[in-house]
Amino acid sequence: MKSLRTPIIIANEVRMHRQRHSGTFLLVEGLFDRLFFNPFVDRSICEIVTCDGKENLIATHEILRDFGFPGFICIADSNCDKLQGCTLSESDFIYTDHHDLEMMIFNSPAINDVINAYANPERLIAFAENTGATIIESLQGACLEIGYLRWLSIREDLQLDFKNLRYSRFLNKPTLRVHLENLIISVLNNSSRQDLDIANICDQIEQLKQITADPLDICNGHDLIELLKIAFSRSIGNHSRQSMESIERSLIPAYRMEYLNTTQLHQDITSWASCNPGYLVFA
């Protein structure tokens, strides 16, 4: 559902809130981002504002910048922007280290805490023995296969629809391995793009794989959550099917400030604060 809060409305909200808040405004895409930053932000010096999506965030940034509004900083998921070379070159518009915040969490010790909390230890060992890969390697491998198709869609403007995918149609649940051709068929059907040639898409994906790129820039956090949900209910866990929200919420408290401190994201935020005296994000 399209947000009723337009960029102009959000920008005006921020400007009006300046009357009661003299500190920093941290603008983020959505609720997950707010929940991620909440534990790390000193609310007495920094107020978090959600913008209901990346497009709104970018447009709100432009409006506030044109107003000459001081003390605001935007943080966006990189998505495929880095891969496509189309990031904004603005010191007050900062991107996540990897595809999104979920993938930053995946690239930290926090993911092990979440897996250990949900997984059955015996099934976790059996999974590695049966597949020849750790659960971390398998999750990344599956995300990567789907991520290449997502990247190809953006790169070639295929306008493929990945919403509400049924992962069971292309995923071997016990091993978390993706059947590429079935994945492509599922996405094409979901997008009403039966006009596209499956073999040609497979070839294009193979060509993409020859490009040097960080796998964590290609992997998508939404796919990670779906795969974790399947893993915890089928591959390595003995829980009932976990909801998307419950898994997302379990990722956030597992991520600590000491992990954030080592990231480029933290460095960029700190650099922005040093160039904008009187405005801080972290205490």
119 and 175, same domain (yes or no) = yes
- Spatial neighbors of 21 by CB under 8 A, at least 6 apart, are 47
- Asked whether residue 21 falls in the same domain as residue 40, the answer is yes
Q: Which amino acid is at 201?
A: I
- Cβ atoms of 273 and 280 closer than 8 Å: yes
Q: Read off the pLDDT of residues 113-133 as tens digits, 9 standing for 90 and up.
A: 999 988 899 999 999 999 999
117 in the same domain as 227: yes
Euclidean distance between CA atoms 190 and 77, whole angstroms: 25
Within a domain: 46 = yes
Q: Which of 77, 61, 62, 63 has its CA nearest to residue 26?
A: 61
**Average pLDDT along the chain:** 94
Tell me how far apart the alpha carbons of residues 126 and 138 are, in angstroms, rounded to a whole number: 13
Residues 113 and 213 occupy one common structural domain:
yes
Is 125 domain-assigned? yes
Supply the Cα-derived Rg of the chain in whole angstroms.
Answer: 20
Prediction pTM value: 0.93
84 and 120 inside one domain: no
DSSP label of 51: -
The predicted model gives 65-71 an average pLDDT of 96
With respect to residue 283, please indicate whether it lies within any of the assigned structural domains: no
Closest CA to 226 of 152, 150, 179, 165: 165
Domain hosting residue 122, numbered range:
103-254
Say how many domains are in the chain. Answer: 2
